[in-house]
């Protein structure tokens, strides 16, 4: 039987997101609407709305729905923002961000995943304001800076300076930082030339690679 995907997503949002305290109505609406099932490999489609990350090839994963929602909520997007996502992966989080911001640039270090993300976004009609670029996002993407918001979807040993530098003022950055398999999701708010930090949750992301990442 073919699942009723709209219903699967509605249940996912209800149980996994609202049930755990996600309150941003725009994030919740985006995650009800974006077809997550179209961003996972065909063989994983039946588990697309499950409460877990899913392998997307090249040792990478599409994050657990809750983590995507929490990161998006941390960015406090109202619809006018320009956003940088580091680690496009499947393109799913970029699609969610694209639904609640003005423009998204998503950078991906694995060329095959960048191509797949791009295709997923086009196929689902989400490419209008979301662009995928190939490259090492540990250095940010200076050509598009400054950004009102930056979301990093891979665990970094430290906060890359380039990302703080390319964050606008005001601006919000969300990034998992810490040892390889045990990080804090840190949120930086830049305002009036100062940066305030808080920790949103503990988490476990795939490692950030490249010049500012794990070698
Ligand atoms: N946001 C993605 C989740 C991706 S997992 C989604 O919704 O599907 C993290 C991704 O970060 C992986 O695809 C990995 O290849 C990528 N990545 C790791 N280091 C990177 C770097 N330095 N620059 C850009 N992408 C990177």
Residues 17 and 13: their CA atoms lie apart, in Å, by 5
Q: What mean pLDDT is reported for the chain? A: 98
- pLDDT at position 215 is 83
Atom of ligand 1 nearest to the CA of 154: 9
Cα separation, 17 vs 211, in Å, equals 34
Q: What is the pTM of this model?
A: 0.98
Mean pLDDT of 36-63: 97
User: What does the alpha-carbon distance between residue 31 and residue 69 come to, in Å, rounded to a whole number?
Assistant: 8
Q: Which CA distances in Å does 51 have to 16, 48, 133, 156?
A: 7, 9, 28, 24
Contacts of 66 (CB under 8 A, 6+ apart): 16, 17, 20, 22, 51
**Strand 147-152, strand 82-86: pairing:** parallel
Phi and psi, residue 152, nearest 5°: -110, 120
Query: Atom 16, ligand 1: which residue's CA is nearest?
Result: 87
Task: Decide if pLDDT at 1 tops 80.
Answer: no
List of residues 6+ apart from 120 with CB closer than 8 A: 38, 39, 90, 91, 92, 95
pLDDT for position 92: 98
pLDDT at residue number 11? 98
Beta carbon of 153 within 6 Å of any ligand 1 atom: yes
Average pLDDT over residues 26-46: 97
pLDDT at 205: 97
Ligand 1 site, residue 38, Cβ cutoff 6 A: no
Ligand 1: nearest atom to the Cα of 85: 1
| pLDDT of 86 above 90 | yes
Query: Residue 148: what pLDDT?
Result: 99
Query: What percent of the chain is modeled with pLDDT above 90?
Result: 98
Domains of the chain: 5-203 (3.40.50.150)
Known active-site residue 63:
yes
CA of 25 to the centre of ligand 1 (A): 26
Condensed to tens digits (0 to 9), the pLDDT of residues 112-145 reads: 999 999 999 999 999 999 999 999 999 999 999 9
Mean pLDDT within 3-27: 98
User: Binning pLDDT at 50, 70 and 90, where does residue 2 land?
Assistant: confident
Q: Is 16 in the pocket of ligand 1 (CB under 6 A)?
A: no
| 3-state secondary structure at position 134 | strand
User: Best mutation site among 36, 68, 109, 121 for ligand 1, i.e. most ligand atoms within 8 A of its Cβ?
Assistant: 109
Spatial separation of the C-alpha atoms in residues 152 and 16, rounded to whole Å: 21
Per-residue pLDDT at 41: 97
Max CA separation in the chain (angstroms): 55
Q: Which two tokens stand for residue 211?
A: 């010049």
Beta strands in 99-146 (DSSP E): 103-108, 130-134
Element (H, E) at 98: helix 92-100
């Amino acid at each position: 039987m073919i699942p009723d995907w709209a219903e699967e997503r509605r249940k996912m949002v209800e149980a996994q997101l609202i049930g755990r305290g996600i309150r941003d109505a725009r994030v919740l609406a985006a995650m009800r609407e974006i077809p997550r099932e179209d961003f996972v490999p065909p063989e994983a489609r039946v588990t697309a709305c499950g409460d877990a990350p899913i392998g997307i090839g090249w040792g990478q994963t599409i994050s657990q729905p809750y983590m995507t929602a929490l990161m998006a909520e941390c960015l406090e997007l109202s619809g006018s923002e320009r956003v940088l996502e580091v680690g496009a992966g499947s393109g799913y989080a970029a699609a969610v961000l694209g639904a609640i911001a003005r423009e998204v640039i998503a950078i991906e270090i694995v060329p095959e995943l960048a191509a797949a993300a791009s295709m997923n976004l086009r196929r689902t009609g989400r490419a209008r304001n979301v662009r995928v670029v190939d490259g090492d996002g540990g250095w940010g993407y200076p050509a598009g800076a400054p950004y009102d918001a930056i979301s990093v979807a891979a665990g970094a040993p430290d906060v890359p300076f380039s990302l703080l530098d390319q964050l606008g003022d005001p601006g919000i950055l969300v990034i998992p930082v810490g040892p390889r398999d045990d990080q804090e999701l840190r949120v930086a708010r830049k305002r009036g030339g100062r940066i305030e930090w808080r920790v949103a949750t503990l988490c476990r992301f795939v490692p950030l690679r490249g010049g500012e990442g794990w070698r």
